[in-house]
Structure 1
Amino acid sequence: MKPQPFFWLLVIGFLPIQLLACDVCGCGSGASGIGLFWAQPRNSIQMTGFLQRFQTANESEIRTRDHFLSLNLVFRHRLTQSFYGQIALPYHSNRRDGRLGHQSIQGIGDARITGHWIAWQRDNATRSGYLEIGGGVILPTGSYDPTIHDRELPENFNPGKGSWGWSVQSQFNVNAGWLSYILQAEWKAYAPTTDGYRFGQEASATGILAVNRLRSNRLQFVPWISGSFQWVQTDQYGNGQDVHGTGGMAVLGGLGLQCTYSDLAVGINAQLPVFQYFSAGEVSARTRVSVNLGWFF
């Protein structure tokens, strides 16, 4: 099946969050993005910028605001007709404004190496589609400070998780006329850090509806809407006790627009929590925004 231009430019249909370790002052979170961009078997170099914000939910307390900016560089290479590999390297800049004033941490995040197999595909005159299954490892390349609480910051303010991780994901796409339908799911887990701290497992699912034939000559526009569900397990200390104020769940709605010209793509999207319960209700997530660039070859 020849890849549709729509899939080449739809960068972030769903942005699962790797969260959430919090203290009484707020929350910390790192992020990584996956979407239809990542699932198309074509060589590419991609860059995504993702900003998400959190703040304390209790109006009677001193307001704490956390800002998490992530830049993700991704290289993808097709190895066979139905299998391709991918390497992703993130950079995080995390900032907190609160009782202690301005605090920030920057650094390289945890690299991710994954493989993706096209398990099924079909292409006919009226519709096309494919099923992809993938997975891989998350390398502890990012900096991790086990004493970060001495600065009154939570574990997830670290650019890295401090341990190895692994992930499994799947994606099902169908193109029918002017519309495209996409379903995605992903699961992640992490080993304990050197001091025994274990970040919670993460599960996510999303559905996307896009209009894929708004074009003029070589220029194409793709508007889309999405709905997603995210769940994060509570973190655990080395003694097996749950970490207060970690974990949570959310339902989000998203809007986006991507444009492509020849083999270049650019897009922007926003996600708004419809329902959320993070950090035992102590933290609320705000609107998330991403900007995406890609070159396909």
Structure 2
Amino acid sequence: MKKFIVLIFLLAGFTYAKACDICGCGVGGYYIGLLPDFNKRFLGLRFQLNKITTQLDINGQRTALTTDETYRSTELWGAWNISDRWRVLAIIPYSFNEKYTSGSDLLRKKDGLSDVVVNGYYQVFSSAKSNSSNKMIVHSLWAGLGLKLATGKYDVQEQNNAMAISPNIFQLGTGSFDFIPSVMYDFRIQDFGVNANASYKINTKNKDQYRYGNKLAANASAYYKIALGNEIRIAPNAGVNFENQQKDHNNSFLVNETGGNIVNATAGLEANIKRLSVGVSFQTPMHQNLGQGRVDAGNRLLTHVSFSF
């Protein structure tokens, strides 16, 4: 058991990987995936590192202007079941952004608080019953509405530079208040289940007249719960993640080399040790078309350590 716990913590602490979502930083989306098992509330830390390559040529090849950008994020996250029907989930991210030239020289870096997200969910229905084979069938649907606050610093000079050389993504935040309607569905037959999430991020214009494109994100994962004794449960999972982002607008003018879509294959492991939950999720692109082919996304790794109480 001790060796198993040590292994899980090593997985949770390993945060280096090539990765990105469409925006890759404080202006991107928020991946939730499988939540830790909890009855009343949980609190924890998530760690992720995203990498993206920008300023490729029209054929997607590197040039002297190509930059490699790294976005590290440490997030305090938690959820609270206020009642049987109502749930609140919040994410407070702190980001570390770095940009490198094609020769691997550090060009710029910045760090600070990114945009805080608060989601409220209502349980539309929940059901648990046995089938003819005496297997328990459980499923539930939650509908929610989130608010992304403008807590991350938005640099207008970065916006001006981006118009000429690269997408406007090297930011800690969008500088705008945005809205995120979403749904979460879970279906399980005994120990095998399917979890699905979908959200649509509606962005507003910030004070510098820049509006990031709205973003649709959806993911589905199949998982299997395995009991290791009375105190440990693990749930390996695999699935697919889809993201589509519309193009940005600057002073109401369309920014062509923005937006796009990506499809990722996902694989992960969730472990529960009494009240402690540890998870790791890996994503790798199967298809992408970002920034009219001038942006390239790599793999993505996200880990968390959470405690229910």
92-101 or 162-171, which deviates more:
92-101
What is the aligned counterpart of 1:19 among 18, 23, 30?
23
CA 1:38 to 1:222, structure 2 compared with 1: closer, same or farther past 3 Å? Answer: closer
CA 1:32 to 1:93, structure 2 compared with 1: closer, same or farther past 3 Å? Answer: farther
What is the aligned counterpart of 2:61 among 59, 62, 70?
59
Q: How does 1:58-97 map to 2 (within 5 A)?
A: 58-62=60-64, 63-97=66-100
Provide the secondary structure at the position in 2 that maps to 1:242: strand
Report the residue type matching 1:294 in the other structure. Answer: S
Q: Is the contact made by 2:245 and 2:259 (CA closer than 8 Å) also made in structure 1?
A: yes
Q: Is the contact made by 1:265 and 1:293 (CA closer than 8 Å) also made in structure 2?
A: yes
Q: 1:30 deviation in Å?
A: 4.0
- Mapped partners of 1:293, 1:188: distance in 2: 26
Q: Is the contact made by 2:21 and 2:50 (CA closer than 8 Å) also made in structure 1?
A: no
Identity %: 22
Q: 1:216 deviation in Å?
A: 2.4
Aligned to 1:134: 144
Q: Is the contact made by 2:126 and 2:140 (CA closer than 8 Å) also made in structure 1?
A: yes
- Mapped partners of 1:281, 1:146: distance in 2: 25
Q: Is the contact made by 1:41 and 1:84 (CA closer than 8 Å) also made in structure 2?
A: no
1:262 paired to 2:280: no
What is the aligned counterpart of 2:250 among 237, 241, 266?
237
CA 1:135 to 1:170, structure 2 compared with 1: closer, same or farther past 3 Å? Answer: same
Report the residue type matching 2:68 in the other structure. Answer: R
What is the aligned counterpart of 1:111 among 110, 116, 120?
116
Report the residue type matching 1:86 in the other structure. Answer: L
Q: 1:19 deviation in Å?
A: 2.1
Q: Is the contact made by 1:19 and 1:156 (CA closer than 8 Å) also made in structure 2?
A: yes
Residues 32-62 of structure 1 show CA distances to partners (whole Å, capped at 9, x for unaligned) of 3312217966301021111111124543513
Q: Is the contact made by 2:20 and 2:52 (CA closer than 8 Å) also made in structure 1?
A: no
CA 1:92 to 1:18, structure 2 compared with 1: closer, same or farther past 3 Å? Answer: farther
What is the aligned counterpart of 1:98 among 92, 96, 101?
101
1:212 paired to 2:217: no
Report the residue type matching 2:23 in the other structure. Answer: L
CA 1:115 to 1:28, structure 2 compared with 1: closer, same or farther past 3 Å? Answer: closer
What is the aligned counterpart of 1:43 among 41, 44, 49?
41
1:163 paired to 2:173: no
What is the aligned counterpart of 2:128 among 120, 123, 127?
123
CA 1:163 to 1:231, structure 2 compared with 1: closer, same or farther past 3 Å? Answer: same
TM-score between the two structures when normalised by the length of structure 1 = 0.86
Aligned to 1:147: 157
Aligned to 1:178: 191
CA 1:28 to 1:120, structure 2 compared with 1: closer, same or farther past 3 Å? Answer: closer
- Mapped partners of 2:122, 2:204: distance in 1: 25
Q: 1:154 deviation in Å?
A: 4.5
CA 1:19 to 1:245, structure 2 compared with 1: closer, same or farther past 3 Å? Answer: same
User: How well do the aligned residues superpose, as a CA RMSD in angstroms?
Assistant: 2.4
Q: 1:86 deviation in Å?
A: 2.4
Provide the secondary structure at the position in 1 that maps to 2:169: helix
Q: Is the contact made by 1:171 and 1:184 (CA closer than 8 Å) also made in structure 2?
A: yes
- Mapped partners of 1:260, 1:32: distance in 2: 23
Q: 1:213 deviation in Å?
A: 2.3
Residues 212-251 of structure 1 show CA distances to partners (whole Å, capped at 9, x for unaligned) of 124222111111101121100100011x211131101011
- Mapped partners of 1:149, 1:190: distance in 2: 16
Report the residue type matching 2:295 in the other structure. Answer: V
Provide the secondary structure at the position in 2 that maps to 1:246: coil
How many residues end up aligned between the 2 structures?
Answer: 277
Aligned to 1:198: 211
1:282 paired to 2:287: no
Residues 112-171 of structure 1 show CA distances to partners (whole Å, capped at 9, x for unaligned) of 122111110001122111010001211111111111146667432111110110110001
Residues 184-206 of structure 1 show CA distances to partners (whole Å, capped at 9, x for unaligned) of 11001111011111010000111
- Mapped partners of 2:118, 2:202: distance in 1: 15
Aligned to 1:34: 32
Gaps of 5+ in 1: 1-10, 21-26
Report the residue type matching 2:286 in the other structure. Answer: V
